Amino acid sequence: MDINAIRKDCKGCENKIFLNSAGSSLPPRSVVGKMEAYLQFEEELGGYEAAKLKEADINVFYEETAKLLNCKPGNIAFAYNATDAYARALSAIPLNTGDYLLTTNDDYISNQIAFISLQKRVGIKLLRANNLENGDIDLNHFEELTKQYKPALVSVTHIPTNSGLVQDVEAIGEICKRYDCWYLLDACQSVGQMEVDVKKIGCDFLSATGRKFLRGPRGTGFLYVSDEVLEAKLEPLFIDMRGADWKTADSYQIQRDAKRFEMWEFSYASVIGLAEAIRYANQISIKNIYDYNLPLIKTLRDGLAGIDGVMVLDKGSVKSNIVTFHKNGIELNEMERILKKEKVFYSVTKKEYAIIDFTKKGVDWAIRISPHYFNTLEEIKKTIDIIHG
């Protein structure tokens, strides 16, 4: 991996220490360039003609995303963000009153809110598997719940927004297969930073966003839909004229591939931007990105853990590029003032984003730092010194 070339491609990494890829990362120059060029076509031709002319470029999105996830282009649907992709998948599961939905304590806030909403509206029953002492999911408990309650849906967040934990999604995939449950995976924080192979994981749906570790534009995401889901003819609740053909006054026919989960109208400039971001990551290779990031993350976690008063909050036997910490004896405002003064870009996670996890950890806030492969070890060391004070 040529870090100098990568930093040259990344205008935003000059003159600051950008450590917020879990929030919204810095796109490579080529992403912005492709989007600008596409918008110029729209300026000249109008949106419909531009899309026709650039169909091959738009299809790159499906091809590169399929390469990233180890599936076929026909398994991929474009979405406006991860939550949008997730909601479309969730709406396709035939949930009835009294059905069980099994999840974890570490699933994403908006997913948890959607489950509670389904509880209120449909009367589903929500189950959450326990964690082990070290933060990992308790797979025995997960399997017991699956066996006993035969959930209509298992939904798991690969990497939570609020901690460095990586959940064992392959082991959960095996349990789902054994007990024949639909499996929806939120891979919003994992795509782009580590291998995410839908065949190995065995999920039926996978939702993700463009702007985080994939370094795509805002307002983009995607949904992976397995062949089993397509063959079972599951469809989103609010399917539109892209997802289905209107055949008679009272009937429609769904698309055979994952386009069944798309809406007719998109920002094609954004699709092209996301296609380029994924192409860029595939070309460097996720393995190279992951290997480059490992020492950065280890140095950061070890360095922070060595500072008086700092609690590194990340749990689990496998950890990700998301590093969260709390510093005792300092107000959040003051911590933020210090980081901002030194041009360190980060984000804050509040207790209300992670009620279950932060209640257990006994903190109201955490600073979240999320390096990526355009960062350097020098930047990480400097950040540790700044936080040390």
Ligand X SMILES: Cc1ncc(COP(=O)(O)O)c(C=O)c1O
Q: Which of 9, 99, 136, 186 binds ligand X (CB under 6 A)?
A: 186
Q: Are strands 310-312 and 323-327 parallel, antiparallel or unpaired?
A: antiparallel
* Contacts of ligand X in 87-116 (CB under 6 A): 108, 110
Q: Which of 60, 82, 101, 185 binds ligand X (CB under 6 A)?
A: 82
Based on CB atoms, which residue is closest to ligand X, 209 or 255? 209
- Least separation in angstroms between residue 83's CB and ligand X is 3
The region of 81-89, 124-132, 303-311, 356-364 touching ligand X under the rule CB under 6 A is 81-89
Q: Is 83 in the site for ligand X (CB under 6 A)?
A: yes
- Asked whether 166 and 193 are in contact (CB, 8 A), the reply is no
Based on CB atoms, which residue is closest to ligand X, 186 or 276? 186
- Least separation in angstroms between residue 184's CB and ligand X is 12
- Least separation in angstroms between residue 157's CB and ligand X is 5
- Least separation in angstroms between residue 270's CB and ligand X is 12
Distance CA 352, CA 136 (A): 21
- Least separation in angstroms between residue 274's CB and ligand X is 12
Choose among 335, 325, 330, 277: nearest CA to 301: 325
Residues 213, 216, 217, CA angle at the centre, nearest 5°?
Answer: 130
Contacts of 56 (CB under 8 A, 6+ apart): none
Q: Which of 27, 164, 192, 221 binds ligand X (CB under 6 A)?
A: 221
Q: Which of 81, 267, 321, 370 binds ligand X (CB under 6 A)?
A: 81
DSSP 389: -
- Asked whether 277 and 28 are in contact (CB, 8 A), the reply is yes
- Least separation in angstroms between residue 110's CB and ligand X is 6
The number of residues that bind ligand X (CB under 6 A) is 13
The region of 49-57, 76-84, 132-140, 146-154 touching ligand X under the rule CB under 6 A is 76-84
Q: How far is CA 305 from the centre of its chain?
A: 27
By three-state DSSP, how is residue 308 classified?
coil
Q: Is 321 in the site for ligand X (CB under 6 A)?
A: no
The region of 32-40, 138-146, 185-193, 334-342 touching ligand X under the rule CB under 6 A is 185-193
Amino acid letter at 287? K
What DSSP string runs through 79-104?
A: ESSHHHHHHHHHHHS---TT-EEEEE
- Least separation in angstroms between residue 251's CB and ligand X is 33
Distance CA 275, CA 192 (A): 13
Q: Is 209 in the site for ligand X (CB under 6 A)?
A: yes
Count the neighbouring beta carbons within 10 Å of the beta carbon of residue 149: 16
Distance CA 277, CA 316 (A): 30
Q: What are phi and psi of 90, to 5 degrees?
A: -60, -40
Q: Which of 189, 293, 320, 349 binds ligand X (CB under 6 A)?
A: 189
* Contacts of ligand X in 154-183 (CB under 6 A): 157, 160-161
Which parts of this chain interact with ligand X (CB under 6 A)? 81-83, 108, 110, 157, 160-161, 186, 188-189, 209, 221
